[in-house]
């Protein structure tokens, strides 16, 4: 036997509380930072509140919003988006209907783009306030709820700047019977 074999093994430094603290710091902190990174720059989940997107999205549905698409290209007509608007407590979920440079109007809940009615297969509930013909400015979109009779949308607050768009809704993941990707 050598002298090294007879030496006691050094114990881990620090008290059990210190070891637990170090373990938490080295495993939970990176996980928390990764989650914050993903939520801020990549995707986030949220619950639908209110009836404005029925019959496609009901209050209580959980959706996934991705945040990368609009860094690569502008929003497209028909995209379902989440919006951060001044004075709103929670982000709104609406459908992009009017694009920059177009003149939009709403009559009886039906959208007119440059004077022509637009086919909107996702709308089942028409109505709500009319909206006089208005040109959508550059860097903005005109958004509407799918439930036109019960939606606070661009008819109330006007065209929305791109900077207010939080992300593109891509998936319903709750309730399980309604899980599906949004086209």
Q: Over the stretch 85-143, which tens digit does the pLDDT of each residue have?
A: 988 888 999 999 999 999 999 999 999 999 999 999 999 889 999 999 999 999 999 99
Q: What is the dihedral of CA 92, 93, 97, 101, to 10 degrees?
A: 40
| Whether residue 94 lies in the annotated active site | yes
Q: Which one from 13, 15, 27, 52 is the annotated catalytic residue?
A: 52
Asked if pLDDT for residue 10 goes beyond 80, the answer is no
> What value does the mean pLDDT take over residues 65-91?
93
Rounded Cα–Cα distance for residues 135 and 102 (Å): 6
In order of their start, the domains of the chain are: 15-40 (no CATH), 45-181 (2.10.109.10)
Quick: pLDDT tens for 13-65: 678 888 888 887 777 777 777 667 666 666 899 999 999 999 999 999 999 99
State the DSSP code for 147.
B
Q: Decide: 68 and 170 in contact? Cβ < 8 Å.
A: no
Q: What is the reported pLDDT for 181? A: 92
**What is the H or E stretch that residue 17 is in?**
helix 16-41
Residue 126, CA distances (Å) to 115, 154, 156 in order: 18, 15, 16
State the DSSP code for 59.
T
Q: What is the reported pLDDT for 57? A: 95
Q: Model-level pTM?
A: 0.80
| Whether residue 52 lies in the annotated active site | yes
- pLDDT grade for 4, boundaries at 50, 70 and 90: low
Q: Which one from 59, 89, 94, 124 is the annotated catalytic residue?
A: 94
Q: What is the reported pLDDT for 161? A: 97
Quick: pLDDT tens for 150-183: 999 999 999 999 999 999 999 999 999 999 998 7
């Amino acid at each position: 036997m050598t002298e090294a074999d007879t030496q006691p093994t050094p114990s881990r430094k620090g008290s059990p509380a210190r070891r637990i603290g170090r373990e938490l710091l080295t495993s939970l902190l990176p996980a928390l930072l990764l989650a914050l990174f993903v939520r801020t720059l990549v995707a986030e989940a949220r619950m639908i509140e209110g009836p404005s997107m029925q019959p496609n999205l009901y209050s209580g549905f959980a959706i996934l919003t991705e945040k990368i698409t609009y860094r690569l290209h502008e929003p497209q007509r028909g995209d379902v988006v989440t919006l951060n608007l001044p004075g709103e407590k929670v982000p709104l979920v609406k459908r992009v209907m009017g694009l920059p440079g177009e003149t939009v109007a709403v009559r009886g809940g039906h959208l007119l783009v440059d004077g022509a009615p637009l086919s909107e297969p996702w709308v089942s509930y028409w109505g709500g306030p009319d909206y006089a013909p208005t040109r959508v400015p550059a860097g903005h979109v005109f958004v509407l709820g799918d439930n036109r009779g019960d939606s606070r949308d661009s008819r109330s607050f006007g065209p929305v700047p791109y900077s207010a768009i939080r992300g593109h809704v891509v998936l319903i993941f709750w309730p399980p019977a309604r899980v599906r990707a949004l086209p």
